[in-house]
A and B are shown apart, each in its own frame.
Chain A
Amino acid sequence: MSTVSELKDATADFLERAGALTRFSSRLLWITPAGFLRPRLLAQQVYNAGALSLAIIMISGLFVGMVMGLQGHDLLARIGSEESLGTGAALTLLKELGPVVTALLFAGRAGTALASEIGLMRATDQLTAMEIMAVDPMKRVVLPRFLGGVISMPLLTGIFVMVSIFGVQLIGVQYFGIDRGQFWSEMRSYVELSDVSEGLIKGLVFGVACSLIAVFEGYNAEPTAEGVGRATTRTVVVSAVATLVLDYIVTALLL
């Protein structure tokens, strides 16, 4: 009996949150044009979400690429096609690994920063103070941060993929001695513009999802230390799951 009532409560809670998220996103979408009228605020948030995530994106990208170089070479050596390492790695990174890993790193670095910053502003009455000063916190605080994340994600995805391919090249060409010309020319022959755009589209979709979840959780955080902590944790968990689910949906639509 208690399991049934718990299930009922959980369903009601889920539906309530889903409804709140829908209302929140509709409002955000409605005011989005206003976000571009304040380029300085936007640039500041692109810097916060994008530029400050560069180090973690580049370091992770390099090592993901190097691991792909090692594993890819081991796999391709078994069928005697080591020279296809560049193509295989580039396609995997562009279409799949690049956007997904970047989104997971983005959720961990920028998403948590956004959620905790907005949550703390709520807990310390800064958002209420803005409302009393007749300043809409959705426009002044939430929107620039959301757009900053959306703009940053495809850029970070591109940078992640480039650094990863450099990592693959480092292992494949420098370490295993695959012919440099063959490595790059095969990649150029088989990788098409649609593969690049698929990665960037995924980056954009994941950027919208991760940024939306982060600002929603922060804005609706309980105004306590525990509430802000919970909002931050939920940001990472929900963003990660949303990224993987959306990855499947976008892949199915684009193939």
Chain B
Amino acid sequence: MGRQLGHPAGRGAVAGGDNVAVLCGVNYAVDHKPVLRGLDVEFRRGEVTAIMGPSGTGKTTLLRLITGQIRADAGTVVVDGQEVAGLRQAALYALRRRMGMLFQNGALLTDIDVFENVAFPLREHARLPERLVRSLVLTKLHAVGLRGAAKLMPQQLSGGMSRRVALARAIVMDPDILIYDEPFAGLDPISMGVVMRLIRSLNDALGISSIVVSHDVREIAQIADQSYILSEGQVVASGSPKELHDHPSPIVRQFMEGLGDGPVPFHYPAPDYYGQLLAAGKAAR
């Protein structure tokens, strides 16, 4: 099992102090290239847990493992007490009904309007009277401030609005776990602030557990109870935002302070710069 993390007092209701998801010794490779190497991560129930790290370090892969879209080459992924790799499709779908996920681009269905997008999981999984569906959808849309946009098509929404609609859709089935993949990417400061507050308030108001993958250190620091920093498929640091801020590791410093060069190099591996330029000059002659 992975390391037990200290739980910061205050925010988030921890249901029995147990974990909602645990990844233990997880390895995962694509075309023999390792993406995750012996990853140990725990997500505590009732908390907002952030996964941060430079691009290409396996953050989205981690989410795909939790949601059962891919299976680990080695190690275990346990979500809500069930080992994901051992689940057949029906059991996996039953588990996913207890999850909500917000995609980076919203992933709204483009052939139906905002109302129907939010109603989609209800219509697929529950045979509810139309009046009840309407009430539930309007309630969720109101929670994200978009009740007035119910009749708009996804193409008519801004990036921030799309993500809020997707958030309403993600919570319409009252999930136990909410997963956010880069929820702040490409948003203007106002939309970013709105989404940030929504993540925290939904987590606390609905008593759910949230997993947030993000690059945005400053925003994450304001809402996360616990954070992990990943690099090259491994956890290089974990703890509360304050603990990470004071972390002595150079790679953590580079990431937290947004330094262009450091343990994570600015340049992609390449031959000697001057040698390459001179060779190009000679070839041109």
Task: Assess whether B110 is interfacial by the CB under 8 Å rule.
Answer: yes
Residues of A contacting B125 with CB < 8 Å?
134-135
Taking CB atoms and an 8 Å cut-off, the chain A residues in 129-159 that contact chain B are 129, 131-136, 140
A132–B89 alpha-carbon span in the complex (Å): 12
| CB atoms of B96 and A129 under 8 A apart | no
Instruction: State whether A133 and B121 are in contact (beta carbons under 8 Å apart), knowing that A124-B105, A128-B69 are contacts in the complex.
Output: yes
Task: Assess whether A126 is interfacial by the CB under 8 Å rule.
Answer: yes
Mask of B85-103 contacts with A, CB within 8 angstroms, 1/0: 0000100011011010101
| CB atoms of B124 and A135 under 8 A apart | yes
| CB atoms of B94 and A134 under 8 A apart | yes
A168–B166 alpha-carbon span in the complex (Å): 55
Instruction: State whether A134 and B97 are in contact (beta carbons under 8 Å apart), knowing that A125-B103, A128-B69, A129-B103 are contacts in the complex.
Output: yes
Contact-size category for B: 20 to 34
Mask of A96-133 contacts with B, CB within 8 angstroms, 1/0: 00000000000000000000000011001110110111
A236–B109 alpha-carbon span in the complex (Å): 26
| CB atoms of A135 and B110 under 8 A apart | no
Task: Assess whether B259 is interfacial by the CB under 8 Å rule.
Answer: no
| CB atoms of A133 and B103 under 8 A apart | no
CB distance from B117 to the nearest CB of A (A): 10
With an 8 Å Cβ cutoff, the count of chain A residues facing the other chain is 14
CB distance from B155 to the nearest CB of A (A): 11
| CB atoms of A126 and B67 under 8 A apart | no
| CB atoms of A134 and B110 under 8 A apart | no
| CB atoms of B97 and A129 under 8 A apart | no
A133–B169 alpha-carbon span in the complex (Å): 9
Set B67, B94, B108, B110: member contacting A132, Cβ < 8 A:
B67
| CB atoms of B103 and A128 under 8 A apart | yes
CB distance from B246 to the nearest CB of A (A): 36
Residues of B contacting A136 with CB < 8 Å?
89, 93
Residues of A contacting B96 with CB < 8 Å?
131-134
Residues of B contacting A134 with CB < 8 Å?
93-94, 96-97, 121, 124-125
A27–B97 alpha-carbon span in the complex (Å): 23
| CB atoms of A129 and B110 under 8 A apart | no
CB distance from B163 to the nearest CB of A (A): 13
A132–B169 alpha-carbon span in the complex (Å): 12
Q: Which residue of A lies closest to B93 (CB)?
A: A134
| CB atoms of A128 and B94 under 8 A apart | no
Residues of A contacting B97 with CB < 8 Å?
133-134
A128–B97 alpha-carbon span in the complex (Å): 14
Q: Which residue of A lies closest to B92 (CB)?
A: A134
Task: Assess whether B15 is interfacial by the CB under 8 Å rule.
Answer: no
A133–B99 alpha-carbon span in the complex (Å): 8
Instruction: State whether A131 and B109 are in contact (beta carbons under 8 Å apart), knowing that A125-B103, A140-B124 are contacts in the complex.
Output: no
Taking CB atoms and an 8 Å cut-off, the chain A residues in 59-74 that contact chain B are none
Residues of A contacting B89 with CB < 8 Å?
136
Residues of B contacting A129 with CB < 8 Å?
101, 103, 107, 109, 166
| CB atoms of A131 and B69 under 8 A apart | yes
Residues of B contacting A121 with CB < 8 Å?
109-110
Q: Which residue of B lies closest to A117 (CB)?
A: B111
Q: Which residue of B lies closest to A123 (CB)?
A: B105
A140–B112 alpha-carbon span in the complex (Å): 14
Residues of A contacting B103 with CB < 8 Å?
125, 128-129
Residues of B contacting A125 with CB < 8 Å?
103-105, 107
| CB atoms of B120 and A133 under 8 A apart | yes
Instruction: State whether A135 and B121 are in contact (beta carbons under 8 Å apart), knowing that A126-B109, A128-B107, A129-B103 are contacts in the complex.
Output: yes
Residues of A contacting B120 with CB < 8 Å?
133, 135
A124–B104 alpha-carbon span in the complex (Å): 10
Set A126, A135, A140: member contacting B107, Cβ < 8 A:
A126
CB distance from B84 to the nearest CB of A (A): 13
A126–B125 alpha-carbon span in the complex (Å): 17
Residues of B contacting A140 with CB < 8 Å?
124
Residues of B contacting A128 with CB < 8 Å?
69, 103, 107
Residues of A contacting B110 with CB < 8 Å?
120-121, 124, 126
CB distance from A30 to the nearest CB of B (A): 12
CB distance from B201 to the nearest CB of A (A): 22
CB distance from B224 to the nearest CB of A (A): 22
A140–B124 alpha-carbon span in the complex (Å): 9
Taking CB atoms and an 8 Å cut-off, the chain B residues in 119-176 that contact chain A are 120-121, 124-125, 166, 169, 173
Shortest Cβ-Cβ A-B pairs, 5 listed: A129-B107, A125-B107, A134-B93, A134-B96, A132-B101
Q: List, sorted by A's number, 22 A–B pairs whose CB atoms are closer than 8 Å.
A: A125-B103, A125-B104, A126-B107, A126-B108, A126-B109, A128-B69, A128-B103, A129-B101, A129-B107, A129-B109, A131-B69, A132-B99, A133-B120, A133-B124, A133-B173, A134-B93, A134-B94, A134-B124, A134-B125, A135-B120, A135-B121, A140-B124
